């Protein structure tokens, strides 16, 4: 087992701190008077600076220190953060991230420019000068004015990346200090844990500062320390304090470390014992483990193999009358299902971790396009497989960019139509059965159907005057190379965005619904499965082949009767008073053998379309471990993958959306839509 690289551990933790810092800065743009947001940003900066210095990232620590210094007036309430200051602070955050993740790609000139902009914004009219060592203040310039401090840090403060000596040094910037270290609790050398802090300090601070200035020095470690402040008597002249000699008896002959340790243990405060016990209890309750994503993927593969083996065992047990074997098979099935659910739960990530990335995107696009845009999120706690989260990021970027660039009107156009100046982009997630619905909605002008159709006719995608519904016209937006933009810009105009969205979502076994209301905005809904690894499926037989239909797409099953209606040369089924078109899978798959006398029909749905799939036999439900098809089968669009059955044979997994598109022509799709 290889040891983790400490620098890599720092990079991972810094990545999380950057997310916190960016969120705090973006929130400050909306709530500039929220002091808690300023403190949150400073905590992140302070931790990055301290940890960076600890792991040898000296340039990171130096730049972050200058960042803190320039931003200090905001923390003191002297400067109100505006959009210009937030933009420069975000650029500083990006520069720090680059120093950590790719230092070879950075240039110190960029950092100096960012710091110059920061100082210009927080101190107008003042030129930034490099900090020089200041002259030491007279030891007791104002005798009798100041504070007597007693400082105790939690023993784990070093593990948390803070250096007590740096904090005491910062305290000295408030005035002249006399510091005495208390070594009562320092253990013998053979018992000393170098990662724990055993020292305490008594400090006499001669300064006319108030208590708040002292608290500001320790603001980021207040929860990890005990601070007692007592004002010095203003009528007394405080003489210089002599160093306190702490007698320590060190037995030379016959040392007894065990008795000494027991004696020190007996002198420990019961209150400290209770606090330590409570801390350990909290740590145990909130303990988390950082696991590499590759290990979770490997674990999921092993669980998939276990599910296949369990299916084979169940099939063998069903062929025997041995009660003991049947009992064991049922127990293994229960344990495999529990392990599957637990493993899938470990891979689940709240989608809010993805939504947070787009706040910066919306902020930058709003600034670049000159369109004030509010970003709203909902359903951040909705969980999705981590692999789905990674694949979903790029499509959502395209949708949000299109919504701001094409959907949200310019400020003057919104005012002319009676709308508020502030546009809105809303992204929401919710569970819908075995699927997750991710919705991107804007309050812009909506889709211009006539313009889309004209562009489609111009590109030869549809014949002029052909009858088409608005829904079908809107689908041209997902055609490669299709764009209604008048000019090509850095954001749009080349027609390579929405087709990428469609291909990516369909590769994830998902679908896209698009709806619009002229003058009120557009809504794009992504329907996604919970995971890409294991699905619940319906096992069917067509001819001599067996196939899997994802259970999330199945609405109901029925028997195909001889009274089925035939209209316009197509097959329709009367279901609950409505007509549902159906496809005969034997014809599509060129199945061999005679069809069953009593055929079954499975009603499946894809988006707003319902369709019936005629099969020879419905075998039952089946846990399907999805295996990707080889590159040789990349042109087979009716199947999204394959799975291994209990007897070791393979079964193809049907892609309902692609099956409808493959089995029906454009006119037939319109007929299905009309009948549905």
pLDDT digits over 292-318, tens only? Answer: 777 887 888 888 888 888 888 888 888
HEC string for 578-619? EEEEEEEHHHHHCCCCCCCCCCEEEEEEECCEEEEEEECEEE
Q: Looking at residue 247, what is its pLDDT? A: 42
Q: In the sheet that 609-615 helps form, which strands lie side by side, from edge to edge?
A: 554-559, 600-606, 609-615, 578-584, 570-575, 565-567
Other residues' Cβ atoms within 10 Å of the Cβ of residue 625: 21
pLDDT given for residue 245 in this prediction: 42
pLDDT, one tens digit per residue, over 363-399 is 888 888 888 899 999 988 888 888 888 888 888 988 9
What is the model's pLDDT at position 425?
Answer: 92
Q: Residue 484 — pLDDT band, cuts 50, 70, 90? A: low
| pLDDT band at 105; cut points 50, 70, 90 | confident
Residue 252 DSSP SS3: coil
Distance (Å, whole) CA 99 – CA 110: 11
Is 60 within 8 Å of 99 (Cβ atoms)?
Answer: yes
Alpha-carbon distances of 533 from 100, 201, 314, 413, 627, rounded to whole Å: 34, 57, 21, 47, 8
Q: Among 79, 62, 164, 74, which residue's Cα sits nearest to residue 115? A: 62
Q: What is the pLDDT of residue 139?
A: 42
Share of the chain above pLDDT 90, in %: 3
Query: With 70 as the cut, is the pLDDT of residue 414 above it?
Result: yes
Instruction: Give the pLDDT band of residue 486 (cuts 50, 70, 90).
Output: low
Residue listed under structure tokens 């809107």: 474
Q: Is the pLDDT of residue 496 over 60?
A: no
Query: What is the pLDDT averaged over residues 552-570?
Result: 68
Mean predicted lDDT score pLDDT of the chain = 76
Strand partners, 383: 350
Question: Between β-strands 578-584 and 570-575, what pairing exists: parallel, antiparallel or unpaired?
Answer: antiparallel
- Dist CA 642 CA 651 (whole Å): 6
User: Which range among 61-75, 194-208, 627-641, 655-669 shows the weakest confidence by mean pLDDT?
Assistant: 655-669
For residue 408, the surrounding DSSP H or E stretch is: none
Report the predicted TM-score, pTM, of the whole model to 2 decimal places. Answer: 0.60
Nearest-5° Cα angle at 552, 549 to 556: 75
- Rounded CA-CA distance 189/194 in Å is 10
């Amino acid at each position: 087992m290889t040891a983790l690289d400490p620098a890599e551990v720092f990079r991972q933790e810094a990545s999380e701190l950057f997310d916190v810092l960016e969120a705090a800065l973006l929130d400050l743009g909306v709530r500039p008077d929220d002091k808690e947001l300023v403190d949150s940003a400073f905590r992140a900066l302070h931790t990055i600076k301290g940890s960076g210095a600890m792991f040898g990232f000296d340039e990171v620590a130096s730049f972050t220190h200058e960042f803190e210094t320039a931003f200090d007036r905001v923390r003191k309430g002297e400067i109100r953060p505006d959009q210009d200051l937030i933009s420069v602070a975000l650029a500083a955050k990006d520069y720090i991230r680059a120093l950590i993740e790719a230092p070879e790609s950075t240039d110190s000139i960029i950092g100096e420019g960012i710091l110059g902009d920061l100082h210009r914004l927080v101190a107008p009219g003042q030129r930034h000068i490099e900090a020089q060592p200041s002259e030491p203040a007279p030891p007791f310039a104002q005798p009798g004015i100041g504070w007597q401090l007693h400082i105790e840090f939690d023993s784990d403060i070093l593990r948390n990346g803070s250096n007590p000596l740096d904090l005491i040094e910062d305290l000295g910037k408030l005035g002249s200090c006399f510091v005495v270290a208390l070594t009562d609790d320092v253990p013998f050398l053979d018992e000393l844990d170098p990662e724990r802090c055993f020292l305490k300090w008594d400090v006499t601070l001669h300064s006319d500062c108030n208590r708040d200035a002292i608290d500001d020095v320790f603001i980021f470690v207040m929860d990890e320390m005990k601070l007692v402040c007592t004002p010095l008597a203003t009528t007394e002249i405080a003489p210089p304090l002599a160093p306190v000699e702490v007698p320590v008896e060190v037995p030379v002959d016959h040392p007894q470390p065990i008795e000494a340790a027991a004696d020190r243990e007996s002198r420990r405060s019961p209150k400290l014992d209770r606090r330590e016990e409570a801390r350990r209890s909290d740590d145990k309750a909130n303990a988390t483990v950082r696991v590499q994503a590759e290990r979770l993927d490997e674990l999921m593969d092993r669980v998939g193999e276990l599910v296949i083996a369990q299916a084979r065992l169940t099939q063998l047990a069903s062929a025997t009358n041995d009660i003991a074997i049947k009992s064991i098979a049922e127990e293994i099935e229960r344990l495999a299902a529990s392990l599957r659910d637990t493993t899938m739960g470990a891979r689940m990530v709240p989608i809010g971790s993805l939504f947070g990335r787009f706040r910066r995107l919306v902020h930058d696009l709003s600034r670049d396009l000159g369109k004030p845009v509010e970003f709203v999120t909902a359903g951040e706690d909705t969980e999705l497989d981590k692999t789905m989260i990674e694949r979903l990021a790029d499509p959502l970027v395209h949708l949000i960019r299109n919504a701001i660039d094409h959907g949200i009107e310019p400020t003057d156009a919104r005012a002319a139509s009676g709308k508020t100046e502030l546009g809105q982009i809303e992204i929401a997630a919710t569970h819908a059965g075995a699927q997750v619905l991710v919705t991107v909605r804007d309050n812009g002008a909506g889709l211009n159907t006539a313009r889309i159709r004209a562009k489609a006719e111009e590109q030869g995608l549809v014949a002029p005057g052909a009858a088409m519904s608005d829904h079908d016209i809107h689908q041209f937006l997902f055609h490669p190379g299709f764009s209604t933009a008048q000019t090509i810009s850095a954001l749009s105009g080349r027609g390579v965005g929405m087709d990428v969205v469609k291909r990516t979502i369909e590769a994830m076994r998902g679908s896209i619904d698009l709806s619009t209301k002229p003058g009120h905005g557009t809504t794009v809904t992504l329907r996604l499965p919970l995971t890409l690894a294991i699905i619940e499926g319906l096992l069917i037989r067509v001819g001599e082949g067996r196939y899997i239909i994802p259970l999330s797409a199945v609405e109901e099953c029925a028997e195909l009767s001889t009274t089925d209606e035939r209209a316009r040369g197509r097959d329709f089924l009367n279901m609950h008073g409505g007509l549902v078109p159906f496809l005969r899978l034997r014809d599509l798959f060129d199945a061999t053998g005679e069809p069953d006398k009593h055929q079954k029909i499975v009603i499946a749905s894809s988006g707003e379309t319902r369709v019936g799939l005629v099969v020879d036999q419905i075998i039952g439900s089946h846990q399907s471990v999805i295996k990707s098809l080889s590159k040789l089968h990349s042109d087979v669009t009716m199947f999204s993958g394959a799975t291994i059955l209990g007897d070791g044979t393979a079964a193809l997994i049907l892609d309902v959306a692609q099956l409808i598109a493959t089995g029906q022509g454009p006119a037939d799709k319109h007929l299905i839509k009309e009948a549905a």
